[in-house]
């Protein structure tokens, strides 16, 4: 593609939010990245523009048939001032896998990583630097054709927005309570479960609300056909420490292939721990717990990094995991991953990429 990214200066910059009140995805920075696609021109006109509403035709594909894909990654401010991204190429690779499934034209992965770097460089003052804080990066693509016929859009818009976010846990990691959903399903093999696309979330909201009403934090999804096998949790992949091994559901087409999941598996193997990616029935899991073999449960995802699970309910059965506390391995994984992401720990696996502000300078 090799196009140059233009910069359109904002008249006024926003007041930054209090570092203590960031939460997740509530505040947005001064600028966003935008790029368009048409059949004639392909992806074109990449630009960094003031953050704000976009105008779309009410007949746009996205509104009626949900043709969309998104990604989520973070920029971290290291103690020495460097700005680090964590495996951004993995997110772009996945974005293209999602695009392929949703019939959206492929992006130039390297170019979009470059766009992310430029935007983050422009917005570097928005990167919070307290423990657990970061600048969340949300690239997404929407179909923008004004046509109600059901077919893939011929026009698309790729946007990247940024949001300073707080620590998912506040000061300490507190284990979450999980409800094993046995009625609703998130995805089935052959569908779009492996793609990061909005429809999966729309389909999950009902069950999420139900679990909250019952006093739980998140839903654990079972497979869509037999309602027997464990898939994933809300917006996280799931891991179980069974005696000295770690088990996680194998990627089967309906599970989202998390970058954090991939990184956790690599770290565990690096530490000499046996990891088994396999089909895990919920019945077997609860049996393991009965026999005191289930030592830890944790979810993995960009937002929380590692989220310990303290409590699981399935039909009439309940499990309290690790006495409702954060297990040792969960804590070690959290400390190591966040250590690498923020440049505190040696990045032995070569996962971080620095954003060099000077190099990424954009011109008006």
Ligand X SMILES: *Cc1c(COP(=O)(O)O)cnc(C)c1O
Q: State both tokens at 191.
A: 């569908």
**Cα gap 16→29, rounded to integer Å:** 8
**Closest distance of CB 197 from ligand X, Å:** 9
CA–CA gap between residue 355 and residue 3 (Å, rounded): 19
- CA 110 to mean position of chain CA atoms: 19
Q: Strand 73-77 vs strand 83-86: parallel, antiparallel, or unpaired?
A: antiparallel
CB of 256 to ligand X, least distance (A): 4
Instruction: Give me the least distance between CB of 264 and ligand X, in Å please.
Output: 9
Q: Which is nearer to ligand X, 46 or 234 (CB)?
A: 234
Dist. CA 61–CA 46, nearest whole Å:
21
Query: Of 46 and 139, which CB lies nearer to ligand X in the complex structure?
Result: 139
Compute the radius of gyration of the chain from its Cα atoms: 21
Choice between 31 and 240, CB closer to ligand X: 240
Distance CA 189, CA 181 (A): 18
Residue 77 or 186: the one with the smaller Cβ distance to ligand X is 186
Q: Which is nearer to ligand X, 22 or 73 (CB)?
A: 73
**Smallest distance, ligand X to C-beta of residue 271, A:** 19
Nearest-approach distance from CB 259 to ligand X, in angstroms: 3
- The residue (of 134 and 288) whose beta carbon lies closer to ligand X is 134
Q: Using the Cα atoms of residue 332, residue 168, residue 339 and residue 273 in order, give the sign of their dihedral.
A: positive
Distance CA 163, CA 127 (A): 9
The token pair at 102 is: 């949703």
Tokens in use for 272? 């000499």
Residue 144 C-beta: closest distance to ligand X, Å: 23
CB closer to ligand X out of 242 and 306:
306
Pair of tokens at residue 321? 């995991």
Q: Identify which of residues 185 and 259 has a Cβ nearer to ligand X in the complex.
A: 259
The residues near 330 (Cβ < 8 Å, ≥ 6 apart) are 173, 296, 298, 306, 308
Q: In 3-state terms, what secondary structure has residue 86?
A: strand
Q: How far is the CB of 214 from ligand X (least distance, A)?
A: 21
Chain residues in the site for ligand X (CB under 6 A) = 72, 196, 232, 235-237, 256, 258-261, 300-302
Nearer to ligand X, 187 or 285 (CB): 187
Tell the residue number behind the tokens 């070569």, with chain if given: 350
Least distance CB 296 / ligand X (angstroms): 18
* CA distances from residue 182 to 29, 222, 226, 256 in whole angstroms, order as listed: 40, 7, 10, 19
Nearest to 338 by CA among 79, 32, 71, 118: 79
Say how far apart CA 10 and CA 151 lie, in whole Å. Answer: 37
Q: What is the nearest approach in angstroms of ligand X to the Cβ of residue 164?
A: 18
């Amino acid at each position: 593609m090799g196009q140059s990214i233009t910069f359109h200066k904002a008249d006024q910059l926003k007041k930054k939010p209090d570092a203590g009140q960031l939460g997740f995805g509530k505040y947005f920075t001064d600028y966003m990245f935008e790029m368009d696609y048409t059949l004639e021109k392909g992806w074109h006109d990449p630009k960094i523009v003031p953050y704000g509403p976009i105008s779309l035709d009410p007949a746009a594909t996205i509104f009626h048939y949900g043709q969309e894909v998104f990604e989520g990654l973070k920029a971290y401010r290291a103690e020495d001032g460097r700005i680090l991204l964590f495996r951004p190429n993995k997110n772009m690779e996945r974005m293209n896998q999602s695009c392929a499934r949703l019939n959206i034209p492929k992006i130039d992965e390297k170019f979009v990583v470059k766009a992310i770097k430029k935007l983050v460089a422009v917005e570097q003052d928005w990167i919070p630097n307290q423990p657990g804080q970061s600048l969340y990066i949300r690239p997404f693509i929407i179909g923008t054709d004004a046509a109600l016929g059901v077919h893939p859009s011929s026009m698309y818009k790729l946007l990247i927005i940024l949001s300073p976010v707080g620590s998912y846990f506040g000061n300490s990691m507190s284990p979450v309570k999980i409800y094993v959903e046995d009625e609703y399903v998130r995805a089935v093999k052959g569908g779009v479960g492996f793609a990061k696309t909005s429809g999966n979330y729309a389909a999950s909201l009902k069950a999420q609300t139900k679990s909250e009403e019952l006093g739980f934090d998140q839903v654990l999804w079972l497979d869509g056909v037999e309602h027997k096998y464990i898939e994933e949790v809300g917006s996280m992949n799931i891991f179980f420490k069974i005696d000295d091994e770690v088990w996680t559901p194998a990627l089967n087409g309906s599970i989202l292939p998390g970058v954090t999941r991939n990184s956790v598996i690599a770290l565990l193997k690096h530490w000499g721990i046996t990891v088994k990616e396999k089909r895990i029935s919920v019945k077997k899991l609860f049996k393991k717990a009965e026999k005191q073999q289930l030592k830890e449960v944790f979810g993995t995802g960009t937002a929380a990094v590692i989220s310990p699970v303290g409590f699981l309910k399935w039909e009439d059965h309940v499990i309290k995991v690790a006495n409702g506390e954060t297990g040792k391995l969960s804590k070690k994984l959290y400390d190591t991953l966040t250590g690498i992401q923020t440049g505190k720990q040696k990045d032995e696996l070569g996962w971080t990429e620095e954003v060099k502000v000077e190099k990424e300078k954009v011109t008006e």
